[in-house]
Amino acid sequence: MTNDLEPVETTACLILIGNELLSGRTQDKNLAFIATELNEVGVRLREARVIPDVRETIVATLNECRAKHDYVFTTGGIGPTHDDITTECVAAAFGVGLYRDQVTVDLLTERTRERGQEMNEARLRMATFPVGAELLPNSISAAPGYRLDNVFVMAGIPRVMQVMFEAARSQLRGGRKVQARSVAVDLGEGTIADCLSALQAKHPAIDIGSYPQMRPVGFRVSVVLRSTDDAMLDRVTEELIGALRTIGGDPQLEDIATAQSTAEPEG
């Protein structure tokens, strides 16, 4: 017998670290990638936080999130400059010291010489890790990310972060993958709001979201339903379609990839 109880899930939090994100100078490109890839291995990204390069904030956020979630991922702050303080903050959060990894030192030294530059203390910061860290190889720039307990520390540069994430993927243990269905309807959000509220109250284990699109003539809304239970998802989708027809809509199933918001919600 199937019921609407959500199975025990594996959860994650993403911490985006960097003053440049909060100032607007840099636009984050890592959140969407990480959320999508985590879902593929059955891990649900339950929250994301953007925080500054402030030691106390980083340490407190790490400790809160690693106690709350199965996995924590951080991006940013592991480079060679003075404001790259993530590693020392991770060590402080775990109450461990730092060590310099000689294999990484040798690799960085070789890469530096290949570029006609000299190794210096700043670059050696990228070979320094919290005691107990398991390194995540980086084939692009040689400086690795790392894992310490349930925290994965990665670069902020998207291409480098993605390489590190691939190294981390095999270490993740998730549950069932979240599936999705999308229904497009030719009504505004204000018109379908009560319908969606009633459906959500009836099926609390299904995540239901509405994403409006402004068209040359009238409104179109994509209603996306998400769940780990395929059979229940199909049943509730059919129920949604019936309810939308009842209030005068012409709902149609659509490819989930096209279900994205392109306008402000209807007021």
Residue 253 belongs to what H/E stretch? strand 252-254
In the listed set 139, 169, 199, which residue is the last one of a domain according to the structure?
169
- Does residue 212 lie within any of the structural domains? yes
| Parent domain of 137 | 10-169
- Does residue 216 lie within any of the structural domains? yes
82 and 195 assigned to the same domain: no
CA distance 18 to 39: 25
In the listed set 142, 169, 196, which residue is the last one of a domain according to the structure?
169
142 and 209 assigned to the same domain: no
129 and 188 assigned to the same domain: no
87 and 159 assigned to the same domain: yes
Q: How far is CA 204 from CA 12, 175, 201, 208, 227, in A?
A: 21, 19, 6, 9, 10
123 and 210 assigned to the same domain: no
Question: What six digits make up the tokens of 147?
Answer: 């894992």
Q: Would you say residue 224 has pLDDT above 90?
A: yes
150 and 24 assigned to the same domain: yes
Return the DSSP state at 149.
T
50 and 165 assigned to the same domain: yes
199 and 138 assigned to the same domain: no
Q: What is the dihedral of CA 223, 224, 229, 232, to 10 degrees?
A: 10
pTM for the structure as a whole: 0.82
- How many domains is the chain built from? 2
What is the pLDDT, as a whole number, of residue 266? 42
Question: What six digits make up the tokens of 90?
Answer: 């991770």
CATH number, domain of 44, equals: 3.40.980.10
Mapping DSSP to helix (H, G, I), strand (E, B) and coil, where does residue 114 land? helix
190 and 157 assigned to the same domain: no
Reported confidence tier of residue 175, pLDDT bands at 50, 70, 90: confident
102 and 231 assigned to the same domain: no
| pLDDT single digits (tens) 59-113 | 999 999 999 999 999 999 999 999 999 999 999 999 999 999 999 999 999 999 9
Q: Mean pLDDT over residues 210-239, rounded? A: 87
20 and 145 assigned to the same domain: yes
In the listed set 107, 135, 169, which residue is the last one of a domain according to the structure?
169
